[in-house]
């Protein structure tokens, strides 16, 4: 069985490395990801973010040169959600793609709302990184 998925992307007028460096820094997550907008802190080897549903753990893939930004979010319920994410070059700028899965039990309406939230997060990310000097 596979889950329904949607690939949400946006073009950003900044080089891939600059966008990757910003997004891969967990401390920047609350600046652009509304679902984790409270705060983020490191406790030992674990990143803890405040979300509307309470504290969640966020685990990121190791730093890499391929633009892979995948991360897992462990919800207060203990459920872990895998979030594939990539950034790749497009001429002088880049594309960033977030793959959103429709999880079991999620209604179509909830899935559409989740997709809108991801789109808003990516627009916020674009706004921030395109305005970073350099």
**Predicted confidence (pLDDT) per residue in 50-104, tens digit:** 888 889 999 999 999 999 999 999 999 999 999 999 999 999 999 999 999 999 9
- The answer on pLDDT for 27 being more than 80 is yes
Please tell me the distance from the alpha carbon of residue 60 to that of residue 49, in angstroms, as a whole number.
13
List beta partners, residue 86: 68, 97
User: What's the domain count of the chain?
Assistant: 1
Give residue 44's pLDDT: 87
pTM: 0.92
List, in order, residues 6 or more apart from 72 with CB less than 8 Å away: 58, 59, 80, 81, 82, 83
Residue 95: which CATH number? 3.30.530.20
Distance (Å, rounded) from C-alpha 43 to C-alpha 20?
23
| Residue-averaged pLDDT of the chain | 94
Domain that holds residue 104: 5-130
Number of other residues whose CB lies within 10 A of the CB of residue 58:
19
SS3 106: coil
The Cα–Cα gap between 50 and 56 comes to 6
Does 1 score more than 70 pLDDT? Answer: yes
The predicted structure's pLDDT at residue 7:
98
Indicate the pLDDT class of residue 34, thresholds 50, 70 and 90: confident
């Amino acid at each position: 069985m596979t889950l329904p998925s949607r690939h949400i992307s946006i073009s950003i007028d900044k080089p891939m490395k600059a966008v990757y460096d910003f997004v891969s820094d967990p401390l920047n997550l609350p600046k652009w990801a509304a679902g984790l907008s409270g705060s983020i802190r490191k406790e030992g080897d674990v990143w803890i973010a405040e979300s509307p549903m309470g504290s969640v753990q966020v685990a990121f893939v190791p730093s890499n040169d391929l633009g892979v930004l995948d991360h897992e979010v462990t919800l207060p319920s203990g459920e872990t959600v895998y979030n594939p994410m990539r950034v790749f070059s497009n001429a002088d700028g880049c594309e960033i793609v977030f793959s959103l899965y429709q999880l079991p039990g999620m209604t179509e309406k909830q899935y559409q709302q989740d997709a809108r939230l991801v789109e808003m997060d990516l627009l916020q990310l674009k706004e921030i990184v395109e305005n970073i000097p350099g």
